[in-house]
């Protein structure tokens, strides 16, 4: 089949390269000439493990190409995917659908034959209806089926998620759309990947509901971690204890500094706004959003406490290890590191940082932070070391060298990647999340 992928960002490029690897003929389209030029040179606009090799292999095989011309790119396409950005709109938190609608209009005006138009971008309920209306208003005489096909890709593991998905959701209202999408995903039938066909609005809501639920799990275990610190429990054991219940599951139960990234923050906000528009309050999601934002700054205050409090922290130096919202990506969107660094600099703390992939993206977002070339350069002379992102490079630091370079052997591990007993035996003042309480010295609220 011929597939056109409009948008060559994270979702569009990964999806397009994977579809090409399945054997489809794929054209990735983007208005950004510099991005297309770099792709022609084999330079990826994002960091994603394995993506450069996948793109290169399929370009060489003649199955994957790039263009800035939408009419040229969609000519003869059986399926046209819309995979452009839907960022939170300034002011009200609604998803900004202007890019989606602009693509829909140009697609309608440029169609040369029947086609299925697929919203791959994360969009609020009812967006497909508007896309369908916009295309119809262009006056096209060709048969068009507008389908919803949300993505469920984890940054850092996107290629594996695409090729071995736990489910494929397709919202289609007619046989034409269902048949074409079945053929698009036919290569995955061999893997027996479950395909769920639904109505279009249901498909759109599934994406938001899934992300909101996962965000809720993260926020829930973070609050339990705070309670663990007060009562002398270990949040990692609590996570294991509840995660072994197959009704709950173990994933997304790792305590930390809060969620970030391209999906959870904007999708939970968009869901709140949709619920507000339909007068159907989602109070749990509202609490999740507020609690998560509060937590990020609280992690900065946790570091300040480890430095001896606000008065003693002023003028001290802290090494931040990890800036991206998660490992194996260069994505800085809503990363907890931003709020942690801001809280520290507001308190008069000098912040030095290192991240294996995210520093170029981080520089304009964190102008007061000094970027270093390796973790040890950031650690040198520091009064505290803070692990914000659980990159593999930070899991086996040379602690003898760390202790020699640091001004004070204080580590605040916001990802719980080290064992408290091991760190204390090596002479560190070690602070982690949800594991610092001492049994027998319980502090109960008197309220």
pLDDT per residue as tens digits for the range 382-408: 999 999 999 999 999 999 999 999 999
Give the predicted TM-score (pTM) of the model. 0.91
Point out the least confidently predicted range of 48-52, 283-287, 305-309, 439-443: 439-443
CA distances from 254 to 181, 219, 230, 235, 239 (A): 36, 10, 18, 8, 7
pLDDT of residue 237: 97
pLDDT tens, position by position, 334-376: 999 999 999 999 999 999 999 999 999 999 999 999 999 999 9
Q: How confident is the model at residue 190 (pLDDT cuts 50, 70, 90)?
A: confident
Beta strands 317-321; 350-354: pairing state: parallel
Q: Residue 291's CB: how many other CB atoms inside 10 A?
A: 18
- Catalytic residue of the set 18, 28, 228, 263: 263
Asked about 263 being catalytic, the answer comes back as: yes
Q: Which fold has domain 2-198?
A: Rossmann fold (3.40.50)
Q: Which of the listed CATH numbers 3.40.50.11540, 3.40.50.720, 3.40.1190.20, 3.30.1490.190 matches domain 210-431? A: 3.40.50.720
Q: Residue 280, class by beta-carbon neighbours within 10 Å (0-12 exposed, 13-18 middle, 19+ buried)?
A: exposed
pLDDT tens, position by position, 114-164: 999 999 999 999 999 999 999 999 999 999 999 999 999 999 999 999 999
Q: How confident is the model at residue 189 (pLDDT cuts 50, 70, 90)?
A: confident
Is 198's pLDDT higher than 50?
Answer: yes
pLDDT tens, position by position, 200-252: 999 999 999 999 999 999 999 999 999 999 999 999 999 999 999 999 999 99
The stretch 412-425 carries a mean pLDDT of 96
Q: Which residue has the tokens 């998620």?
A: 161
**Per-domain residue ranges for the chain?**
2-198, 210-431
Is 446's pLDDT higher than 60?
Answer: no
The percentage of residues in the chain with a pLDDT greater than 70, rounded to a whole number, is 97
């Amino acid at each position: 089949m011929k597939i056109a992928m409009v948008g060559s960002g994270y979702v569009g490029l990964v999806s397009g390269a994977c579809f090409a690897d399945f054997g489809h003929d794929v054209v990735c389209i983007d208005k950004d000439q510099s991005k297309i030029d770099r792709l022609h040179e084999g330079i990826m606009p994002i960091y994603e493990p394995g993506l450069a090799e996948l793109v290169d292999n399929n370009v060489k095989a003649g199955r994957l190409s790039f263009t800035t011309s939408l009419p040229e790119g969609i000519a003869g396409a059986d399926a046209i995917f819309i995979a452009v950005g839907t960022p939170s709109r300034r002011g009200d938190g609604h998803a900004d659908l202007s890019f989606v609608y602009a693509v829909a209009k140009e697609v309608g005006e440029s169609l040369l034959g029947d086609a299925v138009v697929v919203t791959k971008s994360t969009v609020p309920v009812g967006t497909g209806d508007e896309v369908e209306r916009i295309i119809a208003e262009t006056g096209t005489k060709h048969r068009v089926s507008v389908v919803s096909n949300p993505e469920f890709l984890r940054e850092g593991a996107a290629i594996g998620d695409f090729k071995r998905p736990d489910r494929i959701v397709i919202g289609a209202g007619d046989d034409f759309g269902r048949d074409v999408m079945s053929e698009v995903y036919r290569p995955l039938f061999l893997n027996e990947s479950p395909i769920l066909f639904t109505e279009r609005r249901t498909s759109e809501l599934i994406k938001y509901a899934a992300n909101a639920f996962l965000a809720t799990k993260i926020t829930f275990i973070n609050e339990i971690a705070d309670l663990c610190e007060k009562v002398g429990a270990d949040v990692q054991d609590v996570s294991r204890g509840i995660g072994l219940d197959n009704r709950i599951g173990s994933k997304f139960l790792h305590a930390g500094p809060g969620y970030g990234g391209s999906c959870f923050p904007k999708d939970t906000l968009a869901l709140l706004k949709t619920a507000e528009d339909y007068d159907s309050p989602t109070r749990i999601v509202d609490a999740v959003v507020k609690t998560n934002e509060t937590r990020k700054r609280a992690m900065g205050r946790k570091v300040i406490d480890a430095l001896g409090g606000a008065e003693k922290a002023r003028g001290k130096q802290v090494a931040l290890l990890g800036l991206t919202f998660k490992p194996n990506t260069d994505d800085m969107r809503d990363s907890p590191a931003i709020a942690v660094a801001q809280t520290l600099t507001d308190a008069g703390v000098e912040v030095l940082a290192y991240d294996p992939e995210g520093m170029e993206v981080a520089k304009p977002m964190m102008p007061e932070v000094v970027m270093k070339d390796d973790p040890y350069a950031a650690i040198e002379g520091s009064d505290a070391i803070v692990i914000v992102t659980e990159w593999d490079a930070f899991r086996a630091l040379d602690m003898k060298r760390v202790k020699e370079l640091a001004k004070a052997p204080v580590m605040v591990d916001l990802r719980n990647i080290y064992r408290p007993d091991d760190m204390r035996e090596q002479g560190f003042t070690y602070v982690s999340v949800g594991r610092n309480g001492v049994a027998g010295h319980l502090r109960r609220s008197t309220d």
